[in-house]
Amino acid sequence: MTARETDKLFLQGMIQLAAAFHHYTRGNPKGTKSLLEAGLSKLRKFPAEYRGTELNALRGAAVGWLDAVTRSGLAAIAEVPQIEFVRPGQSNSGR
């Protein structure tokens, strides 16, 4: 895929988070944990909002999942995080 290096890093992080939840649905706690860690590592390098995506909420939810999976494997956890988008002209960076 042709993209700026920062966009590649962002997309890789988002894909890794998505893949983590795929592993979760397949009963693979090790894959879930490792992909949550990898995706968060990449997405922590970005501001609260990037490319119209509200990253603070997504990162916070992913950290909660990582903590839960680390503590108890694949125990039932709250619903899978949803990607929130910033509306044009709206800033959520004060959260």
pTM above 0.85, yes or no: no
What would be the CATH architecture of the domain defined by 5-72? Up-down Bundle (1.20)
Domain range annotation of the chain: 5-72
Location of structure tokens 């960076």: 93
DSSP secondary structure letters along 25-90: HTT-HHHHHHHHHHHHHHHTTS-SEETTEEHHHHHHHHHHHHHHHHHHTT---SPPP---BPPTT-
Measured torsion, CA atoms of residues 79, 42, 8, 91, in degrees rounded to the nearest 10: 70
pLDDT in tens, the chain (95 residues): 577 888 999 999 999 999 999 999 898 989 999 999 999 999 999 999 999 999 999 999 999 999 989 988 766 666 778 888 887 766 555 44
